[in-house]
Amino acid sequence: MNNFEQLISGDKPVLVDFYATWCGPCKMMHPILEELKQSMGDKLTIIKIDVDEAQELAAQFGVRAVPTLAIFKQGNLVWKEAGVHSAHQLQLAVEQFL
């Protein structure tokens, strides 16, 4: 099992930020994800995946635009949307899977 599969296989929701270093909107997501992490604490794990370094992984999950945010629970993709989202929008999405 690779490291990514281990990270997403737990009972706790995992928010994955598929991003690219050259992407302006992706840079806007960083402080939003920090805010989300502070408000949700240990209820959520957040990981960032650079699509240029992990092209196979991005393709596996159908990432066609960046940023794409995805929520995994117990190894399953349960939610995915492209674009910039507010911390509040993301928290509402995550809370469905707590």
Q: Which residues are catalytic?
A: 23, 26
Place of tokens 């507010």: 86
Overall number of domains in the chain: 1
CB-CB contact of 23 with 82 (8 Å): no
Q: What is the pLDDT of residues 34-79, one digit of tens each?
A: 999 999 999 999 999 999 999 999 999 999 999 999 999 999 999 9
Strands 14-19 and 45-50: parallel
The answer to whether the beta carbons of residues 73 and 97 sit under 8 Å apart is yes
The 8-class DSSP code of residue 42 comes to G
CATH of the domain at 79: 3.40.30.10
What integer pLDDT is reported at residue 2 of this predicted model? Answer: 72
In angstroms, rounded to a whole number, what is the distance separating the alpha carbons of residues 50 and 91? 22
62 phi and psi angles, rounded to 5 deg = 65, 35
